[in-house]
Amino acid sequence: MLDFRDKVAVVTGAASGIGRAIADRCAAEGMRVVLADIEEPALLETAKSMADSGARLLPYRLDVSSAGEVEALAATVYRQFGAVHLLFNNAGVAPEGMPAWSQTLDTWRWVIDVNLYGVIHGIRSFVPRMLASGEEGHVVNTASVAGLHAGPMISPYYVSKHAVVGLSESLFLELQMASARVDASVLCPAFVRTKIAESARNRPQTGAAESGSEEFGVMVRGMVEQGVSPQSIAEQVFDAITKRQFWILTHPEFDAAIRERVNGMLERRNPQAAIPPPK
């Protein structure tokens, strides 16, 4: 896709971080933008700020873990705009740092419901409509570099992001088999200056988080604070869309770790963490 003006974009997790940067980039291209996020005050603040800059918006409070809510969003968007050309399944959360056996079932369900089922719901509700329109389109699923290597202490996050990578590859191949005018990409960033370390702010009250490793939390927050800007990620995303590029690997410094993991599998070596845990 090369011409974005007057097209329609749907962005989940749009009130902050990468989602907000992507929404801003869509608006800058002259698109009509659907801002979807579970955090309503931040959503309304984002919508006001973008509208004041002239963006054409539809803010929508959304819990991506609910298939019914995502389907209702799709129905609303198609009723109001008649089409969707760019779908960004971007909403995501991360758990507290602790070993897999200490993560509660509530935590596992929360992370997988948002990070994986949020993408599944987006695909199921929007892609059939996008295909039926016959128009050009693109789906971008936000995974993570955590979906391309292994690591300790946040296993629900790694599990969900590996699943999103696999799902996205299957989606890409299925769209190719269908000779569709809709393409797919998977976004695999590493550390970006977002609120991912503050995910608990949007956690359902029924699943209270347990206290994780403070040392691990400090390390992660420090890496996030030193990460790249969300705007730089949005630029790479749009570059990939124009090139019909599937893999969006935004942090070349992780290429060696990804390559080492693949080589390790082929050589039957035991896993090593790309980022060593604090001692």
Contacts with 259 (C-beta within 8 Å, 6 or more apart), sequence order = none
> What would the 3-class secondary structure string for 210-267 be?
CCCCHHHHHHHHHHHHCCECHHHHHHHHHHHHHHCCCEEECCHHHHHHHHHHHHHHHC
Q: Which pLDDT tens digit goes with each residue over 7-42?
A: 999 999 999 999 999 999 999 999 999 999 999 999
Query: Is 51 a member of any domain?
Result: yes
| pTM, rounded to two decimals | 0.96
Q: Which pLDDT tens digit goes with each residue over 84-101?
A: 999 999 999 999 999 999
Q: What is the mean pLDDT of residues 43-71?
A: 98
Closest among 74, 88, 86 to 29, alpha carbons compared: 86
* CATH code at position 27: 3.40.50.720
Q: What is the mean pLDDT of residues 121-143?
A: 98
State the total domains in the chain.
Answer: 1
Query: Is 76 a member of any domain?
Result: yes
Q: Which pLDDT tens digit goes with each residue over 201-250?
A: 999 986 555 678 889 889 889 999 999 999 999 999 999 999 999 999 99
Q: Which domain holds residue 60?
A: 8-266
Please give the pLDDT value at position 104.
96
Please give the pLDDT value at position 278.
46
Query: Is 205 a member of any domain?
Result: yes
Query: Is 272 a member of any domain?
Result: no
Burial class of residue 240, CB neighbours in 10 A (0-12, 13-18, 19+): buried
Please give the pLDDT value at position 208.
54
Q: What is the mean pLDDT of residues 148-172?
A: 96
**How sure is the predictor about 274, in pLDDT bands with cuts at 50, 70 and 90?**
confident
Query: Is 240 a member of any domain?
Result: yes
Query: Is 156 a member of any domain?
Result: yes
Query: Is 46 a member of any domain?
Result: yes
pLDDT above 70 covers a percentage of the chain that reads 96
Query: Is 276 a member of any domain?
Result: no
Please give the pLDDT value at position 217.
87
- Give the catalytic positions in this structure: 157
